[in-house]
Amino acid sequence: MLLGVGPLPAPGALRVHATGLRLRAFLNALKSEGLKVRCLELPFGGSAPTGGAEEGVERLSGDIATARSEFDRALADFSPDVVFALTDIGAQIAAESAWKGPLYVDYNGHPMTERAEQCRAHGNNTALAAQWLGVLPVLLRADRFSVVSWAQRAALLGELGVAGRLNAETCHHDLVDVLPPNLPFQLPLEVVDAKRLQSFGVPAEAPVILSTGGFNTWMDEATLFAALERVFASHSTARFLATGGGIPGHVEIVYERFQAAASASPFAARYHFAGWIEHEAFLDCLQLATVAVNSEHASLEGEFGFRNRLLGWAWGGLGIVTHVTGEATARLVGQGFARAVPTADAAALAEALLQALEAGRPGTDVPRRTALLQEWSGAREFAAILEWARNPTIAPDRAASGRVENPLVDFQRQALAPGGNNQVGELVARLRGSTAFSLLLSTNPALRTILEAVERSFRK
């Protein structure tokens, strides 16, 4: 059984995020082994996806409590040999379910530093506790993990150590695989509408600087705006097109700040905002724009993770200008698929964009696509995961006969157990009484459902 957050990239899909791309990668890899896979798709941020679900994929409810019940029913109906759970939400649902067999968890990015970026964007730290309450049960329960980078592996091992999972039984046992991002599309692309850019107000023949996907918490929109202003002052015909935008239920203020700055610019007419567009329209943009730009803050979240959009841009034949904060991005730059500029340097970003506009699109010739497939297909990295899927095992400290003496695990479990160390319950009560946290709950459905799940566990 495969549980993750969608939507899967497919014609008609809107708001395809990194979660959907990762779910697609696992689904394709597991099916390639001839395994019988039942895929359960959670909606992103509680929002119902557009279009019908593809064959063999079951969509769960946006309400997390209902999704938990649906997951338990699916377990009883399917009787899997192993459960793969992706993202922090999927992992928590699986870890707290009735499932007692082998559980594999994939964290495509580091949950705590991702939440820290969200806290920075909203100006308060109240959401950190809820995130840890979602992560800790997974650390205590899962049998094997995968992450997106070696840096994230080190961070997760540190957390597993705090949780008591680095112990006598797991010593010399590998709990964490590294699975870097892989190409979201592995078929040659074809333009559906050659005038797609014009439909967003871009003049024909104008070179286009493209940004796609969510204006996430890690995005440095101020540096991007300052760089574009420099470009427009030097280049008479260049345009900027953004597809995607704010991420409901996660962060919208970053996009709003950028749009406000653009509307007040003397070059306002050269900024184009398409919003979230259907998947095939997005693929057209990859093939018709000139260069794509990624501007982000230097952060631990970036050091541990990766910007999946970069691989889509490369597959579409775009030139890429990006800040480098993580090992996968550095690898893409080292292979010649992207150009690096220092973070928080608008002048350097503008100069690199001007050079890319002058050079034009790298294109999608056979050698370039072959090199991308060889380096970013994920086949090598998935090998260990698929081997485990064929013969899934319980982690040694969970499989040991009798009760394993582990005071550190017992200590961590007390924080989650009703009637034991009630510090967590007291913390939830304090959070409920916080005006700032109440405001955050009103704008973040995912956080609200996590807190409600914690409260339900105490009532039980």
How many alpha carbons lie under 13 Å from residue 269 in its C-beta half-sphere?
4
Walk along the chain (460 residues) in steps of 10 and give the mean pLDDT of each run.
93 87 95 94 76 81 90 96 97 96 97 95 90 95 98 98 96 96 84 97 98 96 98 98 92 96 98 95 96 97 95 95 96 96 98 98 91 92 95 92 80 76 59 64 70 62
Question: Looking at the domain that runs over 2-180+383-459, which CATH code has it been given?
Answer: 3.40.50.2000
CATH code at 198-376: 3.40.50.2000
Domains 2-180+383-459 and 198-376 share a fold: yes
Is 3 in contact with 86 (CB distance < 8 Å)?
Answer: yes
Taking residue 88's Cβ as centre, other Cβ atoms within 10 Å add up to 25
Helix (H), strand (E), coil (C) string for the chain: CEEEECCCCCCCCCCCCHHHHHHHHHHHHHHHCCCCCCEEEECHHHCCCCCCCCCCEEECCCCHHHHHHHHHHHHHHHCCCCEEEEHHHHHHHHHCCCCCCCEEEEECCCHHHHHHHHHHHHCCCCHHHHHHHHHHHHHHHCCEEEECCHHHHHHHHHHHHHHCCCCCCCCCCCCEEECCCCCCCCCCCCCCCCCCCHHHCCCCCCCEEEECCECCCCECHHHHHHHHHHHHHHCCCCEEEEECECECCCECHHHHHHHHHHHCCCCHHHEEEEECCCHHHHHHHHHHCCEEEECECCCHHHHHCCCCHHHHHHHCCCEEEEECCCHHHHHHHHCCCCEEECCCCHHHHHHHHHHHHHHCCCCCCHHHHHHHHHHHCCHHHHHHHHHHHHCCCCCHHHHCCCCCCCHHHHHHHHCCCCCCCCHHHHHHHHHHCCHHHHHHHHHCHHHHHHHHHHHHHHHC
Q: In the prediction, which pLDDT does 452 show? A: 72
Which pairs with CB-CB distance under 8 Å and at least 24 residues apart come from 116-125? Answer: 116/300, 116/301, 117/216, 117/217, 117/218, 117/299, 117/301, 118/217, 118/250, 118/251, 120/217, 121/217, 121/251, 121/253, 121/254, 122/251, 122/253, 122/440, 124/436, 124/437, 124/440
Judge whether 291 and 319 are in contact, CB under 8 Å: yes
Report how far residue 96's alpha carbon sits from residue 152's, in angstroms, rounded to the nearest whole number: 23
pLDDT value, residue 172? 96
Going from N- to C-terminal start, the domains of the chain cover: 2-180+383-459, 198-376
CA distance 108 to 18: 8
The reported pLDDT for the residue numbered 186 is: 74
Q: What is the pTM of this model?
A: 0.88
- Contact between residue 160 and residue 166 where contact means Cβ atoms under 8 Å apart: yes
Query: What is the structure's pLDDT at 460?
Result: 47
Q: What is the C-alpha radius of gyration for the chain, rounded to an integer number of angstroms?
A: 23
Rounded to the nearest 5°, which phi and psi values hold at 342? -65, 150
CA gap 49, 31 in Å, rounded: 23
Q: Are 142 and 103 in contact (CB under 8 A)?
A: yes
Question: How do beta strands 2-5 and 83-86 pair?
Answer: parallel
Amino acid letter, 333 = V
The residues with which 310 forms a beta bridge, in sequence order, are none
